[in-house]
Amino acid sequence: MKHNLPKFIFLVTKVSLTYLAQPMHRIIFFILGLAFCGITLGSCAHKKPKVWCVSDREQVLPLDYQDIIEKDPVSNRQDVKVHFLGKTKAASYHLVQVRTQEALHIHRYHDATATVLSGKGLLKIGRHTHEMREGDVTTIPRKHTHGYINQSKEPSVLYVVFSPPFDGKDRVVVKMADGLMK
């Protein structure tokens, strides 16, 4: 009889089926299976995204963004808080906390790439609305109307890279009929 399975898998399957013929062996195999699943699921448990920054000396360093947020959180009086992290000749790097929502706006001279580090929300770009969750990444081309609405109990945290480096001046709010995004 010819099998398409590798010999090792066939042998393990044959031994397992023979072994499982005994009731006590079934119980032992079941317990081992649960233990294996627990180990596997535990090792795949959700972990917070990591952010790595390049220093002036070109060393790659981890950024503890949770520490930054704990030391300087967005207040109840703010909708959005931006932390400047650094810049190179080509780009600037920012940590953005969104408590409620940011106003629809455009950047005339800057492209942006945003990664959701924690939380979830809706990102409106032009006429399209996209759900964003932890780990999702989006690009926002210059001259495109956009804004983020937080849908988490806690503020959403985004890592945003602007190119060329953002000077804080190239932000034009777009007025809506009722003042809110939909």
120-125 and 128-133 as β-strands: parallel, antiparallel, unpaired?
Answer: antiparallel
Stretch among 18-22, 89-93, 161-165 having the lowest mean pLDDT: 18-22
Stretch among 117-121, 148-152, 172-176 having the lowest mean pLDDT: 172-176
Spatial separation of the C-alpha atoms in residues 130 and 116, rounded to whole Å: 13
Q: Which of 89, 92, 106, 68 is nearest to 160 (CA)?
A: 92
How does pLDDT run across 37-70, given as a tens digit for each residue? 444 444 444 567 777 666 555 556 677 888 888 9
pLDDT of residue 5: 43
Full-model pTM: 0.69
Mean pLDDT of 88-106: 93
pLDDT of residue 156: 97
pLDDT of residue 14: 46
Helix, strand or coil for residue 10?
A: helix
């031994």: which residue's tokens? 15
How does pLDDT run across 124-143, given as a tens digit for each residue? 999 899 999 999 999 999 99
Phi, psi of 94 (to 5 degrees): -140, 150
* Six-digit token string for 164: 């060329």
